[in-house]
A and B are shown apart, each in its own frame.
Chain A
Amino acid sequence: MDLIRLKNVEKKYKNGVTAIYNLNLAIEKGSFTFVIGGSGSGKSTLIKMLYREEKPTKGQIIVGGLDVARLRNTKVYKLRRKLGIVFQDYRLLPKLTVYENVAFAMEVIGATKEVTRKNVLRALEEVGLKNKVHNYPDQLSGGEQQRVAIARAIVNNPKLLLCDEPTGNLDPERSMEIMKVLDTINKTRGTTIIMATHDKEIVNRMKKQVVTLKDGHLVNFKKKGTYVDENI
């Protein structure tokens, strides 16, 4: 079954730049998909439209049964509760500990202390940070901070995990650690993962399905794809 379906999606920014042209795409539940392309290819825009940071100018986007394009501002939280998001710059709260940062995602949706504790510890264990729960973000390395961000993204047990260049700030070795964590989450939890990246190495080594964008057009959608240079 498809978790995400895009139909004739077009995104034109207010400054006149068109980021996505007539995009049709279906992504299966439980899959792991890379979205690749150079700068300005529209991969970030695509991710942003999936969590309704941006609205498409035309077309329809369905995520987990929700019509994202027609979702009212006050109802966006319903979508956000179905998905986790990981960014290049981690976006952790510096004044909260690792535990509190992850628990924050559960607190704001009103979970009880017991459930929060159980889920937070489980998520932190999955990303391998159970021994650092009381540290603050600035006491951690970049890779560790990103793993905290991943833990926060999966703590509510979402169906979908969106990653916008999660390894952009990390060296190849830390990047592969992050990829391993994501792969494990994909396999053990069955979470659908969509990851925008321009890291050739990662895409080639992971052998997942690949969506290639170029100047806002979909140029390739392959199972077990690789990063092909002439496409970008």
Chain B
Amino acid sequence: MKQSQLTRLVKFGFFVLLLTSLGFGHAHIFIDYKVHACVDANGLDGVFVNWTFDRMFTQFIQKEFDKNNDQKLNKEEQKAIYQKFCADYEKNEFFTVIKVNGKKYSVPKPIKFSARIMKEHETVAYTFFLPLKLKATKKKTDVQVYFFDPVIYVAFTVMPKDVSIQNKAQNIQASIRLKKVKYTNCPTISIKTDS
């Protein structure tokens, strides 16, 4: 193979690599999420989740649901969003993954849902609770709750500062951390009883 042919081949390869790199950065909606785990005397009661949508998609939500155009989402408007949200959850679990010690678990319907327009950033945020009701045992249990869209239509982001935990139990040790799995970061909650 001549030098020029080799150069061309390298250029071609570089270009293919570049295009492949682009191949999976294909998001249309960006969601920053936060996870707050709640531990009670029985174990992990559930997690509060906060999703903040990007400004562009926020406009879409506002246009669709803020019917009186007052830049606020009242109870009726929030109910309409919740109904749509639950329907999506039933259809595709809305990209929610729950794993207990590495085993996949069913995804519960979100409850305690609220939606609000945050004026300072002109974004819409959804908050909801995922009831888990997982009992703590003497053996450490790792619970992963994360959001991931395999086709990256929606890009979920979670940062270390966005995970927190509230422990109301005297006899349970609980912690939360951000763990890197193969393709994303996932908030991981560890619980175990003292005795």
Q: Are A and B a genuine interacting pair, yes or no? A: no
A interface, CB within 8 angstroms of B: none
